Homo-oligomer: A and B are copies of this chain.
Amino acid sequence: MRILGIDPGLATIGLGIIDRSENGDMTAVDWLTIKTKAGLPIAERLCEIAEDLKGFLRTIKPDLAVIERLFFATNEKTALDVAHARGVIVHTVASARVPMLEPTPLQLKLGITGDGGADKVQMQTMLVHLLSLSEIPTPDDAADALALAVYGALHAPHPAVLAPQS
């Protein structure tokens, strides 16, 4: 089972792919980011995100996508921009008929470390441990996406109930 974690953003989207074997072993396949240029109109940036993600989905063929929910206490303008991008990401994944989980940041931390107040170091330490990596994956957005994929591997419903989204 192949799981794609997506850390949504307008400027940088983190992508992390892991494979989970029948017995639950997890292997990190790849982690990377999609970036869009700050100077471009948001419409163009949204088109770039959709095109890049569409191509990526065709190539890696995930069985499940895990897209983090947004939570904002910060800048309202940034929140709305990221929500625009997340809408396009969710739509692109659903159009490709890939089932999805949408954990909140709290659910993600709880799911990976058992501690909803886990900090970045705790998360990264667990990630390195669970995926038997030799070092902390970078950049941060890609590491966050890998953590989302691990969350999916640990919490995915049985394949039989993973009906594709319409």
Binding site for B on A (CB under 8 A): 41-44, 46-47, 50, 70, 72, 76, 79-81, 83-88, 90-91, 93-95, 100, 165-166
Q: A94 with B165: in contact, given A83-B83, A87-B84 (CB under 8 Å)?
A: no
CB < 8 Å: which of B72, B76, B91, B100 contacts A88?
B91
Which of chain B's residues have a CB closer than 8 A to the CB of A70?
80
A125 CB, min distance to chain B CBs, angstroms: 31
Return the chain B residue nearest A76 by Cβ.
Answer: B72
A84 touching B90, Cβ below 8 Å: yes
B46 touching A91, Cβ below 8 Å: yes
CB < 8 Å: which of B46, B79, B165 contacts A44?
B165
The complex places the Cα of A85 from the Cα of B83 at a distance, in Å, of 9
The complex places the Cα of A87 from the Cα of B88 at a distance, in Å, of 6
A104 CB, min distance to chain B CBs, angstroms: 12
CB < 8 Å: which of B41, B50, B90 contacts A165?
B41
Closest 9 CB pairs of A and B: A84-B87, A83-B83, A87-B87, A43-B94, A46-B91, A80-B83, A87-B88, A88-B91, A43-B165
- Enumerate 7 A-B pairs (CB-CB under 8 Å) in ascending A order: A41-B165, A44-B165, A46-B94, A47-B165, A76-B79, A83-B84, A88-B88
